Amino acid sequence: MNIAVVGTGYVGLVTGTCFAETGNKVICVDIDEKKVERMKNGEIPIFEPGLDVLFERNTRQGRLSFTTKLDEAIEDAQIIFLALPTPPGEDGSADLSYILGVADKLSFLIKDYKVIVDKSTVPVGTSEKVHNILAKHLDEELFDVVSNPEFLREGVAVDDFMKPDRVVIGTSSSRARDVMKQLYEPFVRQGNPILFMDERSAEMTKYAANSYLATRITFMNEIANLCEKLEANVDMVRIGMGSDSRIGKRFLFPGVGFGGSCFPKDVQALMRTATESEYDFQILDAVLKVNTEQRRLLAKKIKTHFQDDLQGKTIAIWGLAFKPNTDDIREAPAMYIIDELLEAGAKIKAYDPEAMENVQKIYGDKIQFMDDQYEALIGADALAIVTEWTVFRTPSFKVMRELLKEPLVFDGRNLYDLERMQEQGFHYLSIGRNP
C-alpha cells in the first residue's frame, strides 16, 4: 500500500518506518525543512533502539522517503496517518490546532478515496471534528476518518509496533475497516487481536489505558511510602501482589513518580475532558497530586539526611532521562529533583548515557555533566539514582565506595539488594524498603 505519514515526531517516524518494513511504500512529511533534510541524509532525529537498522534498510530500498510537501506525499497514498503533536494548553486540554490545520489543508488536496487515520492521542470527539473539517470542501465519498491510537513505549517502540498486544481501530465505515485490517494483518500474525470499535471508544481507550497505568504506578508508590513507615519491604509486597493473575506482574515498580511526554499530559487531558462533561474524576485528581509529591521524594530524603543544609554538598546523579533507553527528558523526575537540590544549595554532578545533551540545553553550567558514571562520584557527598539504566545495575561497589566521600546512596529505582548494600558498607536508602 502507499502510505503518507504527516508529522515525523516519535510516533510518526516509528509508524512510517515500521510500515515500510512490512513492504508498504511510505512517504513521511514534515514542515521542518532542516529535519527533513537530515532524514534524507540518513540521520535519525530521535534516539530509539533498533530504529536505525529499519530506517537504513527501508530508505536504501526506496520504501521510506521524506518530504516537506504535503500535496506530493498524499497524491498516491491510500492511507494518510496524522501523527502530529497535541501539546497541553494552559488549562490541560490537548491543543488540536496542528491536526485540524492539516485536516483543512487535506480538504483542498484530496482527489480520490483516502483513509485519514488519527494516530496522535486526541480527546474523544476529535475524529468527528476532523471529519467535519474535511467535509467542508470534500465529498464524503472521498474519505473516511479512523481513530487508531498508538500504544508504543519509548525505548521499546519498534518492538511494541511490530508485535502489539492489540491494535485498536475506531471506524464506522466498512470500507475503511477493510483497508486497516489489510494494513495491520502482518503485525498480528501471532493471533493478537485487531479490535474494531467506534471512533469515540477508540479515542477513549488510549486515555483510559494511559491513565490506568499511571494510576497503577501511583498506587504502588503510595504502598511503597506506607511500607517504609510500617517496616515492610515493597519488593516482597509487589511480587506477592503481582503473582495474582488478576493483578499481573508488570508496571508495579514504585519509584520517583511517572514522567515522560505521555502519562502526565494524558492524565491531565482526561481530567479536563471529565471536567468539561461535569464529571468529577476523583482518582485522577489524586494521581496527579501524589505524583507531584513522589517526584520530590528523593530530594526530600536527601535534604532530611543532611538536615536541610546542602550548602557545600555535592550530589552525584545517575540517570536524567525519564526512563532508560531514551534521551527524552520531558517531565523527567530528575529535573524536579535537580531543581530542588540546587535550590537547597547543593552542587550537582550528573551522568546519563543518552540524555545529557538535552539537559545541558536547559541547565547550561548550573550543573556539571560527567563523561562517566564513576567520574560523577569523585568527591560527591552522596549518590542519587534516578533512572534505572542497565549500566547502573551491577556497578563496582568497591570503586563507588572509594570515590564517594561517604558511602551514601539514595536509590529512586530500587536497583540493589538491601543485604548486599549493607555488607558492602553502604548507607543505602531506597523506595519502600527499610535499610
Q: Does the annotation list 361 as a binding residue?
A: no
Order of all β-strands in the sheet with 314-318: 368-369, 347-351, 314-318, 382-385, 408-411, 427-429
Residue 386 as a binder of ligand UGA (CB under 6 A): the answer is: no
The interface region with ligand UGA, picked from 82-90, 127-135, 181-189, 258-266 by CB under 6 A, is 258-266
Residue 262 as a binder of ligand UGA (CB under 6 A): the answer is: yes
The interface region with ligand UGA, picked from 48-56, 209-217, 373-381, 424-432 by CB under 6 A, is 209-217
Residue 210 as a binder of ligand UGA (CB under 6 A): the answer is: yes
Q: Does the annotation list 193 as a binding residue?
A: no
Grid coordinates belonging to 135: 467535509
Q: Does the annotation list 254 as a binding residue?
A: yes
Q: Mapped to the 3 state alphabet, what secondary structure does the chain carry?
A: CEEEEECCCHHHHHHHHHHHHCCCEEEEECCCHHHHHHHHCCCCCCCCCCHHHHHHHHHHCCCEEEECCHHHHHHCCCEEEECCCCCECCCCCECCHHHHHHHHHHHHHCCCCEEEEECCCCCCCHHHHHHHHHHHHCCHHHEEEEECCCCCCCCCHHHHHHCCCCEEEECCCHHHHHHHHHHHHHHCCCCCCEEEECHHHHHHHHHHHHHHHHHHHHHHHHHHHHHHHHCCCHHHHHHHHHCCCCCCCCCCCCCCCCCCCCHHHHHHHHHHHHHHCCCCCHHHHHHHHHHHHHHHHHHHHHHHHCCCCCCCCEEEEECCCCCCCCCCCCCCHHHHHHHHHHHCCCEEEEECCCCHHHHHHHHHHHCEECCCCCHHHCCCCEEEECCCCHHHCCCCHHHHHHHCCCCEEEECCCCCCHHHHHHCCCEEECCCCCC
Q: Does the annotation list 251 as a binding residue?
A: yes
Q: How far apart are the first and last CA of the chain?
A: 58
- Of 6, 152, 329, 421, the one binding ligand UGA (CB under 6 A) is 152
Minimum Å gap between C-beta 176 and ligand UGA is: 22
Residue 397 as a binder of ligand UGA (CB under 6 A): the answer is: no
Minimum Å gap between C-beta 418 and ligand UGA is: 19
Residue with smaller CB distance to ligand UGA, 123 or 260? 260
- 18 catalytic per annotation: no
The interface region with ligand UGA, picked from 25-33, 87-95, 257-265, 350-358 by CB under 6 A, is 257-265
Q: Does the annotation list 101 as a binding residue?
A: no
Residue 325 as a binder of ligand UGA (CB under 6 A): the answer is: no
Residue 81 as a binder of ligand UGA (CB under 6 A): the answer is: no
Residue 151 as a binder of ligand UGA (CB under 6 A): the answer is: yes
Q: Does the annotation list 35 as a binding residue?
A: yes
Residue 382 as a binder of ligand UGA (CB under 6 A): the answer is: no
Residues 102-121 that bind ligand UGA (CB under 6 A): 121
The interface region with ligand UGA, picked from 151-159, 187-195, 222-230, 268-276 by CB under 6 A, is 151-159
The interface region with ligand UGA, picked from 129-137, 168-176, 191-199, 251-259 by CB under 6 A, is 251-259
- Of 21, 30, 118, 154, the one binding ligand UGA (CB under 6 A) is 154
Residue 259 as a binder of ligand UGA (CB under 6 A): the answer is: yes
- Of 47, 55, 322, 369, the one binding ligand UGA (CB under 6 A) is 322
State phi, psi for 340 to the nearest 5 degrees: -70, -40
Would you list which residues are annotated within the binding site for NAD(+)? 30, 35, 86, 121, 154, 265, 330
Site for ligand UGA, rule CB under 6 A: 121, 150-154, 210, 213, 217, 251-253, 255, 258-260, 262-263, 322-323
Q: Which residues are catalytic?
A: 262
Question: Which parts are annotated binding residues?
Answer: 30, 35, 86, 121, 151-154, 206, 251-255, 259, 265, 323, 330
Residue positions forming the annotated binding site for substrate? 151-154, 206, 251-255, 259, 323
